[in-house]
Amino acid sequence: MTFFRQLRWKLFFSHMLILGIGVIVLIATAFFLASAPLAMETPTSVSDVLGQNVPAPSASPPAGQERFQIVVEQSLLIAGFAALAAAVVVSLYVSRRIVEPLQELSLVSRRLAQGYYRERTAIQSDDEMADLASSINQLADALEKTEQRRLTLLADVAHELRTPLTTIEGYMEGLIDGVIAPEPETFTLIQHEATRLKWLIQELALLSRAEAGQLRVECKLLDLKAPILNVVAQFRPQFTAQEVTLNLDLPPEPVMINADSDRIEQILINLLGNALHYTPPGGHVRLRVMPSDYFVQIEIRDTGIGIPAEHLPHIFERFYRVDKSRARTSGGTGIGLTIARHLVYAHGGEIWAESEGAGRGATFFVTLPLPEPLPLAV
């Protein structure tokens, strides 16, 4: 925005213009009246100019001092009228330039407040009004995106909840109609879907707390190897059952970190669970812990189905699945990594994934800060 286009300078110059017109007219009138021979019927007061008084005939021209007074009075009067006319014209113009955009901005803000997030202003000026209009448009953009995310989330949640419910409903109808035999496998299947529904609701509650920034982590000084060994012990039978080899590579010494043990377990369950889930029988998964000076890195590498490059940047987004149909049959929801990322961030760490592409395995990395070393006693 150039200097002279700023609103404050427009106002300043409009006042200066009125003043200037007044002064110029004053000087010009004074000059003209002083040099012109003064007629007998020349008005001598404001009311004369307004035509209210009929001038009285005078026998002789006015003397020097009187003439000076008449010239001053008339000049002031004419200059005053000229300045008034200029003030009216300039004020009308300037106020139109200010009031009209303000009215439009207030209309747009009202529409936004009513929930019409597509509303935008189209102010074309290049002064402070345009700045304000562009800020309001940015606000509208942000509101529209948030609303879009909210609607998508609602649709996703409804979809995720509907899937197990539809399965349960289908089995129940089959049982009632006698189409499905009341066998233990049928009840196990129904129970499995009910458990999945319960787990999904718990995950959704956790996700909503995390996204609202209300996820509490209660950090204590602990050996990172403890939660790792817990989770590994939990997963061992499943790895054996699915014929996937799990290798552990831990440093011999304790790895002390300030962390919430349950939350660390939750991160590992999500990552190790995925590694198992997406690695076919005969594959390998390796969990490695590498402490360095300021942080410790946990690496979970698998030889599974891998992640195509175009999907890598998105897998931590909520409800994102690389292969939706595959995930649907295998029960994936696309929430696990989003929660893991929130939990890692809550610990001040980083999480990312690498993969050389489909069929070439995937590696997930988590870094967590190490506690500050105690200052050496002197």
Q: Which residues bind to ligand ADP, rule: CB under 6 A? A: 270, 274-275, 278, 302, 304-307, 315, 320-322, 327, 332-338, 362
Minimum separation from the CB atom of position 371 to ligand ADP (A): 29
CA dihedral 171, 321, 215, 260 (to 10 degrees): 100
Using the minimum distance from each CB to ligand ADP, give the nearer residue, 104 or 299: 299
Q: Burial-class residue 39 by CB neighbours within 10 Å (0-12, 13-18, 19+).
A: exposed
Using the minimum distance from each CB to ligand ADP, give the nearer residue, 255 or 335: 335
Q: Decide if 320 contacts 310 (C-beta within 8 A).
A: no
Using the minimum distance from each CB to ligand ADP, give the nearer residue, 79 or 335: 335
Using the minimum distance from each CB to ligand ADP, give the nearer residue, 104 or 323: 323
Query: Nearest to residue 248, comparing CAs of 291, 282, 288, 277?
Result: 288
Q: Decide if 193 contacts 168 (C-beta within 8 A).
A: yes
Report the DSSP pairing between strands 245-249 and 284-291. Answer: parallel
Q: Burial-class residue 64 by CB neighbours within 10 Å (0-12, 13-18, 19+).
A: exposed
Minimum separation from the CB atom of position 100 to ligand ADP (A): 51
Helix (H) or strand (E) holding 211: helix 184-211
Residues sharing a CB contact under 8 Å with residue 84, sequence separation 6 or more, in sequence order = none
Minimum separation from the CB atom of position 353 to ligand ADP (A): 7
Minimum separation from the CB atom of position 292 to ligand ADP (A): 24
Minimum separation from the CB atom of position 321 to ligand ADP (A): 3
Using the minimum distance from each CB to ligand ADP, give the nearer residue, 150 or 314: 314
Please list the alpha-helical segments (H only) found in 212-335.
225-241, 261-277, 324-330
Using the minimum distance from each CB to ligand ADP, give the nearer residue, 173 or 356: 356
Q: What three-state secondary structure class fits 353? A: strand
The residue with its CB nearest to ligand ADP is 332
Minimum separation from the CB atom of position 155 to ligand ADP (A): 17
Minimum separation from the CB atom of position 299 to ligand ADP (A): 12
Using the minimum distance from each CB to ligand ADP, give the nearer residue, 97 or 321: 321
What is the rounded distance in angstroms from the CA atom of residue 302 to the CA atom of residue 278? 8
